[in-house]
Amino acid sequence: MGFKLPDYQVTQLPNPSVSPRLRGEPGREIFPYYQALRTHWGPQNWWPADSPLEVIVGAYLTQNTNWNNVEKAIANLKQAKALSIKALREIPLSRLQKLIRPSGYFRQKAKKLKTFIRYLDKQYAGSLNRMFAQPTGKLRAELLALNGVGPETADSILLYAGNHHVFVVDAYTRRVFERHGLITAKTKYAEIREMVEGAFDVAGSSLGTTPVVQEALKTTAKKEDTAGISESSSSGQSDRSPRHPVSPRHPVSKMSATPRTELAQQYNELHALIVRVGNQHCRKTAKCEECPLRTFLPAESLEAKIHAQ
Ligand code: SF4
């Protein structure tokens, strides 16, 4: 890349379960991954939803199933006019179960959604705006205390429904980072999230004040403009550049186009891009040859080890 990264000053103590390669210079490692992926594929238009409530419902329903099944369940809810807080409050449990059946584990998921609505009513008088106005740490703790909400679901809700500054870690994140020697199998969810957020803090305390990184982002944006990629494309079909051989998985949605801070947008994109890497390349058997992260593989020996898995 045609830019020089700044010399970062890192004040965090080394984390023993994070690879030594990351200690002291997380920005150098993670932020270029984001830049490479974003340049290669462009915006991913997450989350495919019309409202924060739809994101929340989708975050629950996507547990242990694929997105196609979630789409069918969401379509049922919309058709039945059951995708509002009032409707979810009033709908009988058995009816809700029936509507979300395509997403699997529908009995448990219906109960979990009802639990969320009860929590929202009790704590915030049924207002998502009041809920999302809470500090991130407080709200994460409250969400994690709910039945059926683990760290990935809580952070998906915080980021994609509430535009809080959090990075969502999933199984693909673990797989990619582990294969690249950035974490170990023992690294905990919160450690990975904090590691990525720390990297963006460093690269980007950045976002607004560090001219080098801003310049890098401009370069990325320029390349994307040249490639004909547009956030406002609603079809996802304008992407004809060979740099971007596959269109975005999702067309632009009301939620993907919602104004948010640059940092929230970057966390939004990075998670979506890593999911794409995992879907297309970093599968159980890694397909590194065409992967946009191939240049970040630290050593041939590591690549050989990945392919031997
Ligand atoms: S497919 Fe290979 S290059 Fe791509 S993320 Fe996985 S290990 Fe890295």
Amino acid symbol at 120: L
Report the pLDDT value the prediction gives residue 136, as an integer from 0 to 100: 97
Report the pLDDT value the prediction gives residue 306, as an integer from 0 to 100: 64
Report the pLDDT value the prediction gives residue 248, as an integer from 0 to 100: 60
Q: What angle do CA 164, 187, 38 make, to 5 degrees?
A: 50
**Which residue has the least CA distance to atom 7 on ligand 1?**
179
Report the pLDDT value the prediction gives residue 29, as an integer from 0 to 100: 78
Q: Is 142 exposed, middle or buried (0-12, 13-18, 19+ CB in 10 A)?
A: middle
Find the 292 Cα to ligand 1 centroid distance in Å.
Answer: 8
Report the pLDDT value the prediction gives residue 217, as an integer from 0 to 100: 39
- The two structure tokens encoding residue 282: 């970093």
Pocket test residue of 306, 307, 309 for ligand 1, highest count of atoms within 8 A of CB:
306
Find the 173 Cα to ligand 1 centroid distance in Å.
Answer: 11
Find the 150 Cα to ligand 1 centroid distance in Å.
Answer: 26
pLDDT in tens, the chain (309 residues): 332 322 222 223 334 455 545 544 545 678 999 999 999 999 999 999 999 999 999 999 999 999 999 999 999 999 999 999 999 999 999 999 999 999 999 999 999 999 999 999 999 999 999 999 999 999 999 999 999 999 999 999 999 999 999 999 999 999 999 999 899 999 999 999 999 998 887 666 544 433 333 333 343 433 333 332 222 222 222 222 223 344 566 789 999 999 999 999 999 999 999 999 999 999 999 999 999 999 998 776 566 666 666
Find the 207 Cα to ligand 1 centroid distance in Å.
Answer: 27
Report the pLDDT value the prediction gives residue 208, as an integer from 0 to 100: 41
* Spatial distance between the Cα atoms of 103 and 76, rounded to a whole number of angstroms: 11
* Spatial distance between the Cα atoms of 125 and 131, rounded to a whole number of angstroms: 9
Residues 177 and 183: beta-carbon distance below 8 Å: yes
- The two structure tokens encoding residue 67: 């997105």
Report the pLDDT value the prediction gives residue 274, as an integer from 0 to 100: 97
* Spatial distance between the Cα atoms of 97 and 57, rounded to a whole number of angstroms: 13
Pocket test residue of 30, 284, 294 for ligand 1, highest count of atoms within 8 A of CB:
294
Residues 172 and 274: beta-carbon distance below 8 Å: yes
* Spatial distance between the Cα atoms of 115 and 126, rounded to a whole number of angstroms: 12
> Which atom of ligand 1 is closest in space to residue 175's alpha carbon?
6
Find the 55 Cα to ligand 1 centroid distance in Å.
Answer: 29
Per-residue three-class SS string for the chain: CCCCCCCCCCCCCCCCCECCCCCCCHHHHHHHHHHHHHHHHCCCCCCCCCCHHHHHHHHHHCCCCCHHHHHHHHHHHHHCCCCCHHHHHHCCHHHHHHHCHHHCCHHHHHHHHHHHHHHHHHHHCCCHHHHHCCCHHHHHHHHHCCCCCCHHHHHHHHHHHCCCCCCCCCHHHHHHHHHCCCECCCCCHHHHHHHHHHHHHHHHCCCCCCHHHHHHHHHHHHHHHHCCCCCCCCCCCCCCCCCCCCCCCCCCCCCCCCCCCHHHHHHHHHHHHHHHHHHHCECCCECCCCCCCHHHCCCHHHHHHHHHC
Q: Report the candidate in 129, 161, 159 with the shortest Cα–Cα distance to residue 169.
A: 159
Report the pLDDT value the prediction gives residue 251, as an integer from 0 to 100: 86
Pocket test residue of 33, 288, 296, 309 for ligand 1, highest count of atoms within 8 A of CB:
288
Report the pLDDT value the prediction gives residue 201, as an integer from 0 to 100: 77
**Which residue has the least CA distance to atom 2 on ligand 1?**
288
Distances from the Cα of 22 to the Cαs of 14, 177, 189, 269, in angstroms?
Answer: 9, 11, 16, 22
Report the pLDDT value the prediction gives residue 200, as an integer from 0 to 100: 84
Backbone phi, then psi, for 166, in 5-degree steps? -135, 150
Instruction: Kindly report the pTM of this predicted structure.
Output: 0.80
> Which atom of ligand 1 is closest in space to residue 287's alpha carbon?
1
Walk me through the domains of the chain, giving residue ranges and CATH numbers: 52-161 (1.10.340.30)
Find the 278 Cα to ligand 1 centroid distance in Å.
Answer: 8
Pocket test residue of 179, 275, 279, 305 for ligand 1, highest count of atoms within 8 A of CB:
179
- The two structure tokens encoding residue 107: 């009995």
Question: Is the omega angle on the peptide bond into residue 41 within 30 degrees of 0, that is, cis?
Answer: no
Find the 189 Cα to ligand 1 centroid distance in Å.
Answer: 20
* Spatial distance between the Cα atoms of 98 and 110, rounded to a whole number of angstroms: 9
Report the pLDDT value the prediction gives residue 247, as an integer from 0 to 100: 53
Find the 108 Cα to ligand 1 centroid distance in Å.
Answer: 35
Ligand 1 surroundings by CB, under 6 angstroms: 176, 179-180, 277, 281-282, 286-288, 291, 293-294, 297, 306
Contacts of 30 (CB under 8 A, 6+ apart): 182, 195, 196, 199, 200, 203
Distances from the Cα of 297 to the Cαs of 33, 75, 99, 169, in angstroms?
Answer: 11, 41, 45, 20
- The two structure tokens encoding residue 306: 């990945």
